[in-house]
Structure 1
């Protein structure tokens, strides 16, 4: 797009903002120029003040759940209700662990991790109640699973369906080396028997909170990441959160658009050495 068209589009956007939102946006532009930091623009433009909370969103509500046409389904066993490790101990003992046994995971371990990451713990009418807290209860986090060495599970890329606590096979194949390459060549990713990939469906949260949603979806995803850490600790598994990856390559792998749904984290997981 020609620079003149870009400038006109930005000016048109600014003029549609409320007075308070316009002031904060222009302050963000000034900070961007001053600091040479694009994050400063977003930071200031999405601040909340008495007369500038956020302009009304223009984003359609996409629903709580993604549904795929699956190549196959894997029904997950009922997750355990107790582990024998109390929550205070799990918090204290939690570590980022990058070494994994060559032994495969079993389906009960996978079930426990997925459920306690992003499962449904109940319903309030038609509103799902999840195991992680979420801004406005809008639940933007989706979880995918790259399975390489899981007993009874075919190698492939799966989507976790919390509605019926199952895995939906999207593509057959081995993906741990691919994920390692996408994660800037971090070798430990390729050595794990499986990996969770967390994304955030930005439009779920943006349908209510507009641009500030980009702050909220990462808060939500952070609670899911910690849930995975604690579940892994409770079961004696190893995991680590990986936030460095080539975004567009990971989006292509998952088949998502990198805007309405954005990749947030990769978490390789396996038994400890």
Structure 2
């Protein structure tokens, strides 16, 4: 399927890191409004974007082995059809996986956390553990959990700079999430992160 080239991410803004840290909160009440392809591109880049000619990324990775894979379940994104997409950091592109809005399915698979349905999209962090464990053995599993925390925090802070809300979800049925997103068998989901326009306080 044809890949979708994403808008180039920005690397500078007038929103300070300190301000983002101070204002960051988990958001579970979304307005249901659409977000833009530019905003999605910026969020995905913050999660795993490449930031140097030698392939280093926005989040540190043990041994620079990068076990994380990012999947996007888009529901209400201007300029992007509802569907499941895989993010490819090397080209900053999306590869379509399947058509259709999967937000409700993901919410039910997340032990019925139906508030997730009102987010514009859900960013899903998965990992191919063997990329790290082949070098570090079982200790590599701990490194992967550390890494997904780095990556998810990047998305939380980037969401704040864009005026968006995000929340981390760790309670879900692994097998159902993997099936809904058509993940490769060697990959397992670690984190769901709904993102969207927050309701006014």
TM (norm. structure 2) is 0.95
Aligned to 1:98: 28
Aligned to 1:270: 196
Q: Displacement, 1:103?
A: 1.6
Which SS does the other structure have where 1:225 is aligned?
A: helix
- Give the alignment's Cα RMSD to 1 decimal: 1.2
Kept after mapping to 2: 8 A contact 1:74/1:153: no
Q: 2:9, 2:111 → 1: CA distance?
A: 33
Q: How many matched pairs?
A: 199
- Which deviations, in whole Å up to 9, do the C-alpha atoms of 1:108-160 show, x marking residues without a partner? 11111110111101133xxx201101111111111000011111101100000
Kept after mapping to 1: 8 A contact 2:27/2:166: yes
Deviation >6 Å, runs of 4+: none
Greater C-alpha radius of gyration? 1
Which SS does the other structure have where 1:129 is aligned?
A: coil
- Structure 2 matches for 1:24-63, cutoff 5 A? none
Is 1:76 paired with 2:3? no
Aligned mate of 2:79, from 129, 142, 152: 152
Highest RCO, 1 vs 2 (Cα 8 Å, sep ≥ 6): 2
Is 1:261 paired with 2:184? no
Is 1:162 paired with 2:89? yes
Q: 1:107, 1:257 → 2: CA distance?
A: 25
Q: Displacement, 1:257?
A: 5.4
- Which deviations, in whole Å up to 9, do the C-alpha atoms of 1:162-208 show, x marking residues without a partner? 11101111000110000000100101111111110000110110110
Which SS does the other structure have where 1:121 is aligned?
A: coil
Aligned to 1:33: none
Is 1:172 paired with 2:99? yes
Aligned mate of 2:118, from 184, 191, 202: 191
Is 1:131 paired with 2:58? yes
Q: 1:111, 1:246 → 2: CA distance?
A: 27
Unaligned 5+ segments in structure 1 are 1-70
Q: 1:101, 1:84 → 2: CA distance?
A: 25
Aligned to 1:237: 164
Q: 2:87, 2:12 → 1: CA distance?
A: 22
